[in-house]
């Protein structure tokens, strides 16, 4: 296994879709073992810029800008941002790449997309790395209708705002806004996310993501739903939780059945020091775990005898 200092992606990715295009970035040799990287809510492919250079160079890494994020097109007017639609987007991208078998690294919301995709298309996924997420987001049964209504109301409220004039920021004010929403992000993490997260316009910058991604997802699943979907996953799974992130002790207790099910099926669950964006702020903490996992579960199994 060889890791090394890739400073920049090899190429820009563009996959045509019916409403526009899905954009992203790629690293590594064309013939490398394919690994799809899915960022979290309100982030973009820059989320993986500091982690991927520390991972095995035998792989071909593609980091998507999820629809409505980064440089990817926004969904058409009236079309909501649903978890299930993001799963369909992954299928569109891998078909565009002509990948039939690949691994996934997913952070936060990207990890939930990875979990659902892997349960629906288990034959396509070799290995899954979940960064500070469990692969499925559980909604308590008693909260199900309330959460779905909130998402629906938010979506309908924004229907009339599609032609709004977005606020224009200086770069420093945009950075302050992103930092206020994500106080744990380091200075260099803020800069790399803003590289694809801002669009320059006359007078300054506007955030490139669609305002509608802020609405709560209408897709909601109970513990029973999530456990059933998780049982369909055939890939090896590595879960890397941050001790000061999404996987706090209180959250682990709420998701304890899901977490225990991973352990019962001999998947790997580890905790590292850091916050929700530990893979971006401190990639050197996460990289050895991900590298060893990809090496043992994917690369070594595909090398010629």
- Three-point CA angle 251, 68, 199, nearest 5°: 115
Reduced to 3 states (helix: H, G, I; strand: E, B; else coil), residue 273 is: strand
240 φ/ψ angles, rounded to the nearest 5 degrees: -115, 110
The distance from CA 115 to its chain's CA centroid, rounded to whole angstroms, is 11
C-alpha–C-alpha distance, residues 78 and 53, integer Å: 39
56 burial class (0-12, 13-18, 19+ CB within 10 angstroms)? Answer: buried
Residue with tokens 């996310």: 193
C-alpha–C-alpha distance, residues 169 and 294, integer Å: 41
Both tokens of 106, joined, read 């997913």
Residue with tokens 């250079």: 53
* Closest residue by Cα to residue 213 from 87, 82, 97, 51: 82
3-class SS shares of the chain: helix, strand, coil, % to 5: 45, 20, 35
108 is catalytic: yes
Both tokens of 251, joined, read 């959250």
Catalytic hit among 103, 108, 118, 119: 108
As annotated, the active-site residues are: 108
């Amino acid at each position: 296994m060889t890791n090394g200092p890739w400073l920049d992606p090899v190429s820009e990715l563009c996959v045509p879709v019916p409403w526009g295009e899905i954009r992203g970035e790629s690293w590594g040799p064309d013939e490398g073992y394919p690994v799809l990287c899915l960022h979290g809510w309100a982030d973009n492919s820059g989320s993986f810029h500091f982690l991927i250079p520390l991972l095995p160079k035998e792989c071909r890494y593609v980091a998507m800008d999820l629809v409505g994020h980064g440089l990817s097109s926004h969904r058409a007017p009236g079309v909501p941002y649903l978890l299930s639609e993001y799963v369909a987007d992954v299928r569109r991208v891998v078909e565009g790449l002509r990948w039939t078998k690949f691994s996934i690294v997913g952070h936060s919301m990207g990890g939930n997309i990875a979990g659902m995709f892997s349960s629906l298309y288990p034959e396509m996924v070799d290995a899954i790395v979940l960064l500070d997420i469990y692969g499925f987001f559980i909604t308590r049964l008693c909260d199900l209708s309330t959460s779905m209504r909130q998402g629906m109301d938010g979506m309908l409220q924004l229907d009339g705002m599609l032609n709004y004039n977005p606020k224009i920021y200086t770069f420093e004010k945009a950075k302050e806004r992103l930092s206020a929403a994500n106080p744990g992000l380091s200075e260099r993490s803020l800069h790399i996310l803003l590289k694809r997260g801002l669009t320059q316009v006359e007078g300054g910058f506007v955030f490139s993501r669609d305002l509608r991604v802020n609405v709560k997802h209408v897709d909601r699943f109970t513990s029973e739903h999530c456990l059933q979907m998780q049982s369909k996953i055939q890939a090896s799974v590595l879960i890397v939780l941050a001790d000061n992130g999404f996987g706090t002790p209180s959250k682990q207790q709420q998701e304890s059945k899901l977490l225990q099910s991973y352990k019962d099926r001999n998947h790997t669950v580890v905790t590292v020091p850091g916050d929700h964006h530990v893979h971006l702020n401190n990639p050197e903490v996460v990289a050895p775990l991900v590298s060893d996992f990809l090496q043992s579960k994917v690369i070594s199994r595909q090398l010629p005898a």
